[in-house]
Amino acid sequence: MSDLGKAISITTAAFEGKTDRGGVPYILHCLHVMNAVGGDDELKMIAVMHDLIEDTDWTIEDIEKEGFSDRVVGGLILMTHEDGVPYEDYVKRLAIGEDARKVKMADLRHNSDIHRMKGLRDKDFDRLKKYHHAYSYLRDYK
């Protein structure tokens, strides 16, 4: 199995039975981000596993033990929003990594798709505003 195949397999197993806010299997979000980001296999690995550390029991150490490259591990470290870190600080930190920036922008585009939501409440509009601000920052980052 290729490293990309392994990344997809790990992510699929980790998110088995989990759904997004719209009730759709969560793995489809991960695969969507992977396909949207394009690029080489290492970038696709970062994309498909972008929520793995944050939303499952997987750790960076687990990823390292699986033998993923330093580029993939580094990208996942940047992609992981640690507890207690304000969202804006998280976005500013990940912006320094070109791979993380590309993945986060693809993630934000998909997370901002109102068709994925069952309905829109005030808190959804607040989240969309936050995502738009983050996307604009990452898009214009130099």
CATH number at residue 108: 1.10.3210.10
User: What backbone phi and psi angles, to 5 degrees, belong to 51?
Assistant: -105, 0
Report the 10 Å Cβ neighbour count for 77: 16
pLDDT at 83 over 70: yes
pLDDT bucket at 120, cuts 50 / 70 / 90: low
pLDDT of residue 114: 67
pLDDT score of 75: 97
The yes-or-no verdict on residue 100 having pLDDT over 70 is yes
Which stretch of 31-35, 75-79, 108-112 has the lowest confidence by average pLDDT? 108-112
Average pLDDT, the chain: 91
| pLDDT of the residue at 101 | 97
Residue 95's pLDDT band (cuts 50, 70, 90)? very high
The DSSP code sequence of the chain is: --HHHHHHHHHHHHTTT-B-TTSSBTHHHHHHHHHHH-S-HHHHHHHHTTTHHHHSS--HHHHHHTT--HHHHHHHHHH---TTS-HHHHHHHHTTSHHHHHHHHHHHHHHT-GGGSS---HHHHHHHHHHHHHHHHHHH--
**5 Cβ contact partners less than 8 Å away, ≥ 6 residues apart:** none
- Tally of domains within the chain: 1
> Which residues make beta-bridge pairs with 106?
none
Domain range for 113: 3-140
pLDDT grade, residue 116 (50/70/90)?
Answer: low
